[in-house]
């Protein structure tokens, strides 16, 4: 099928890249309206116009943010808006129309361009049929309440074929599709895509970067893409998905202007992957599969109904981190962050609620047993300084490695529906840089935490007296560089000796910067190391991330 077919459906849709509004920029637990408005403006100004949301995204805050930042600021013909009907918001047929009307009101529109039956699986499809959800939605379409009818789908290809056979009125199908899942026997991306082609249904793509997994690549896989010298890891993932016939839209959940600018840079003038790039993608898949990682996308569907309040995606991330990075901080995160006020993997009572709702069809109960075996059998030596022992380094009391990480201070809502955006999984750029500094110095690793979630005032981070200490600064950053950060730190710690030998790197280069930071530490840590060897335990140096 050519891209010109189904022109009546997509004639007003510009380009093939959409704004998924499930991971918007947040500030103090609310959508950062100012930042979101800037992103909306940039998206439209660059010739894109497709926005995707659902009633449950950000606990309803996504829809209202769209009203305030998009629909109240632009005429209706400037944007295409898709919303979805989610099973958790109706128990019977009579509930559906009020839910739909509340969605129109929340978004500030009179109609939706596309309306999808959300997260269809074999079980969910039966629930929708029991409540006559498809029939009710089609009546709303006849009334002009939305233009085009579709589904978002998370199940096997044979289930998709059943749904499309029973409801030929479906005009468009949204599926999980990325290069890692393309041949995955559990997700069946390729087979689902082929079913859509068989039935002549245009495809919308969600999870093109697999919940951030195709951005946060293992180091050896990342090097394969870096050797192409052609763009960011996200660019290869999005271009892979967008390069197939019949795929009309690829969604990306963007939570910052930097993410948007990167995506727009290669999707504005889209070109499919060439053969060299496709070969590199195949190599990345081989490397990724050899790691035997848990293929969790951190959609967090599983956490809402867990009776033991286990933060399942975060525990899986810790498990993967131990495999990828030899666990310099995996145990610390497991014991001191993700199981504080949440259950441990061993607390699982095997009720199976999580597996019923998992879009990836993961054997979560069995995987939690694996996590337990790896993370809870060893002694719980997870104080901040234990990373030095894990890496074979003796603790050096002369050096403090302090870092401030968004991942340690972020608001992580359990009910967020991750369609395509990266998730907060350790180690982030900052944690990894700090871990490498710690490995080289043998110092004490300290994560600075704020009382209230990020963002926070700098003063809340300055609880250590650095008077008379040598302070070496290191950071990863976006295109803004260091800006005036050094001046702010110098003003905040006036009695410290701030070295002008600063280590900084762009965030996309952080995962490949180990050798550079090792050399930087060796250059700056000679005196503290010598003092430690002489038995002097006075803290002389602080390595400070900002």
Q: Is the pLDDT of residue 382 over 50?
A: no
In tens, the pLDDT along 326-363 reads 544 567 668 766 887 889 999 999 999 999 888 888 99
Question: How far apart, in whole angstroms, are the C-alpha atoms of residue 25 and residue 27?
Answer: 7
Terminal Cα-to-Cα distance of the chain (whole angstroms): 51
pLDDT at 96: 97
Domain parsing of the chain, residue ranges: 7-213+245-271, 293-380, 383-546
Q: Is the pLDDT of residue 479 over 60?
A: no
Contacts of 74 (CB under 8 A, 6+ apart): 40, 44
pLDDT-derived band at 69 (thresholds 50, 70, 90) equals very high
Asked whether this chain's domains 7-213+245-271 and 383-546 adopt the same fold, the reply is no
In tens, the pLDDT along 149-197 reads 999 998 889 999 999 999 999 999 999 999 988 987 777 899 999 999 9
pLDDT-derived band at 475 (thresholds 50, 70, 90) equals confident
In tens, the pLDDT along 220-265 reads 999 999 999 889 999 999 999 999 999 999 999 998 999 999 999 9
Q: Is the pLDDT of residue 1 over 50?
A: no
pLDDT-derived band at 458 (thresholds 50, 70, 90) equals very low
Q: Which SS3 state, helix, strand or coil, does residue 110 take?
A: coil
pLDDT-derived band at 52 (thresholds 50, 70, 90) equals very high
Task: Give the CA distances from residue 243 to residues 175, 201, 489, in Å, rounded to whole numbers and listed in that order.
Answer: 15, 16, 46
Average pLDDT, the chain: 83
Q: Which helix (H) or strand (E) holds 401?
A: strand 399-403
Q: Is the pLDDT of residue 47 over 70?
A: yes
pLDDT at 533: 67
Homologous superfamily of domain range 7-213+245-271: NADP-dependent oxidoreductase domain (3.20.20.100)
pLDDT > 70: what percent of the chain? 78
Q: Which of 77-91, 271-285, 436-450 has the lowest mean pLDDT?
A: 436-450
Task: Give the CA distances from residue 184 to residues 179, 212, 268, in Å, rounded to whole numbers and listed in that order.
Answer: 9, 17, 30
pLDDT at 324: 66
pLDDT at 519: 83
Pick the CATH number of 383-546 from 1.20.120, 3.30.70, 3.40.50, 3.30.1120: 3.40.50
pLDDT at 396: 56
Task: Give the CA distances from residue 231 to residues 179, 432, 434, in Å, rounded to whole numbers and listed in that order.
Answer: 16, 22, 26
pLDDT at 381: 43
More confident residue, 273 or 390: 273
Largest pairwise CA distance in the chain: 83
């Amino acid at each position: 099928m050519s891209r010109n077919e189904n022109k009546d459906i997509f004639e007003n849709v510009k380009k093939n890249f959409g704004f998924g509004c499930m991971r918007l920029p947040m500030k103090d637990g609310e959508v950062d309206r100012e930042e979101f408005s800037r992103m909306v403006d940039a998206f439209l100004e660059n010739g894109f116009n497709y926005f995707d949301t659902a009633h449950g995204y950000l606990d309803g805050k996504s829809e209202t943010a769209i009203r305030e930042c998009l629909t109240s600021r632009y005429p209706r013909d400037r944007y295409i808006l898709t919303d979805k009907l989610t099973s958790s918001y109706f128990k019977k047929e009579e509930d559906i129309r009020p839910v739909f009307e509340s969605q129109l009101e929340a978004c500030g529109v009179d109609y939706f361009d596309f309306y999808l039956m959300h997260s269809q699986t074999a079980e969910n499809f039966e629930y929708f049929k029991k409540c006559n959800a498809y029939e009710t939605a089609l009546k709303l379409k006849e009334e002009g309440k939305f233009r085009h009818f579709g589904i978002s789908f998370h199940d096997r290809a044979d289930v998709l074929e059943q749904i499309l056979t029973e409801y030929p009125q479906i005009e468009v199908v949204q599926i999980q599709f990325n290069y890692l899942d393309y041949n995955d026997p559990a997700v069946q991306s390729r087979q689902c895509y082929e079913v859509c082609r068989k039935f002549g249904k245009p495809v919308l793509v969600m999870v093109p970067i697999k919940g951030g997994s195709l951005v946060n690549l293992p180091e050896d896989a990342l090097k394969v893409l870096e050797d192409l010298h052609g763009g960011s890891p996200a660019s290869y993932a999005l271009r892979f998905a967008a390069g197939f016939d019949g795929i009309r839209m690829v969604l990306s959940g963007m939570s910052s202007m930097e993410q948007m600018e990167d995506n727009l840079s290669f999707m504005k003038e889209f070109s499919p992957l060439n053969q060299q790039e496709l070969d590199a993608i195949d190599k990345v898949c081989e490397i990724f599969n050899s790691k035997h990682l848990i293929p969790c996308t951190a959609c967090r569907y599983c956490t809402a109904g867990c009776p033991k309040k286990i933060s399942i995606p975060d525990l899986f991330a810790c498990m993967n981190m131990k495999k990828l990075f030899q666990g310099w901080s995996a145990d610390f995160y497991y014991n001191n962050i993700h199981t504080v006020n949440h259950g441990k993997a061993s607390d699982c009572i095997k009720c199976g609620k999580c597996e019923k709702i998992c879009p990836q069809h993961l054997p979560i109960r069995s995987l939690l047993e694996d996590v337990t075996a790896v993370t809870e059998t060893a002694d719980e030596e997870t104080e901040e300084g234990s990373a030095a022992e894990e890496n074979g380094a003796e603790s050096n009391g002369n050096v403090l490695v302090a870092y401030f990480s968004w991942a340690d201070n972020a608001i992580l809502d359990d009910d967020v529906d991750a369609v395509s955006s990266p998730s907060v999984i350790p180690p982030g750029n900052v944690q990894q840089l700090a871990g490498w500094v710690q490995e080289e110095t043998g110092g004490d690793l300290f994560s600075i935490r704020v009382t209230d979630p990020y963002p926070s005032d700098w003063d809340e981070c300055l609880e250590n007296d650095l008077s008379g200490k040598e302070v070496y600064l290191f950071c990863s950053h976006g295109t803004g560089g260091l800006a005036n950060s050094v001046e702010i730190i110098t003003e905040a710690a006036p009695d410290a000796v701030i070295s002008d030998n600063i280590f900084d790197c762009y965030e996309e280069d952080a995962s490949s910067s180990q050798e550079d930071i090792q050399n930087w530490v060796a250059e700056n840590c000679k005196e503290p190391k010598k003092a430690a060897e002489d038995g002097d335990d006075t803290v002389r140096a602080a390595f400070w991330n900002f």
